[in-house]
Amino acid sequence: MFQIQDTLVSLDVIEKEFCCDLQQCKGCCCIEGDAGAPLEPQEAKQIEQNLDMLLPMMSATARDVVTDKGIAYHDREGELVTQVVDGKDCVFSRTDAQGWCYCVIERAFKEGKIGFNKPISCHLYPIRLHRFPTFTAVEYHRWDICHCARKLGKHLHLPLYVFLKEPLCRRFGEDYYNELDLTAKEWKKQCSLTS
């Protein structure tokens, strides 16, 4: 692991190659799993404040879930996560006629209807953040459904942290990303010297 500011970054974040291949997976990470997407408290507040704008974009079933249970719940680990439909689909996910899954929060943001993007946990995926009292661990989460993303990343020689530059800058800032990038380049240089 590397220390970057107040985080400890897994070596996998620098060494693994990754690039979402939506042509293959069609965004299935929004509709697979056994819990919703992790939410920051301020994200839940923003969603609540903009729910009138988002509800018409959601499926009827998702609207019913949100009306009945709210937008979020605490999972088994006590983490705040988005509500799900039928035990797996995020309530903010929709599937179009071609079978492509998309996030209504992200779509509303890109269309200029709301002033915030999808939850940072979704934007950063497959990086997961784990908070501890004195630091945050920045780790790579390996999921079988992302096989095509690992394959495409390897084909493109695209490091995970480079693929996720935008959300890393969104969450930690450009100075953080630049430090991470420099650290990664120095690490790779050292590895090439010793191999």
Count the domains in the chain: 2
DSSP bridge partners of 4 = 7
Tell whether 23 is covered by a domain.
no
Q: What is the model's pLDDT at position 38?
A: 92
Tell whether 106 is covered by a domain.
yes
Residues 83 and 138 in one domain: no
Final residue before a domain boundary, out of 95, 117, 139: 117
Q: Model pTM greater than 0.75?
A: yes
Rounded CA-CA distance 38/145 in Å is 18
Residues 48 and 108 in one domain: yes
Four-point Cα dihedral 163, 98, 25, 76, nearest 10: 100
Final residue before a domain boundary, out of 117, 150, 178: 117
Final residue before a domain boundary, out of 87, 117, 147: 117
Residues 109 and 182 in one domain: no
- Model confidence pLDDT, tens digit, residues 127-148: 999 999 999 999 999 878 788 8
Tell whether 55 is covered by a domain.
yes
For 100, the 3-state DSSP assignment is coil
Q: Is the peptide bond before 126 cis (omega within 30 degrees of 0)?
A: yes
Residues 94 and 34 in one domain: yes
Is the pLDDT reported for residue 30 higher than 80? no
Domain that holds residue 9: 1-18+126-195
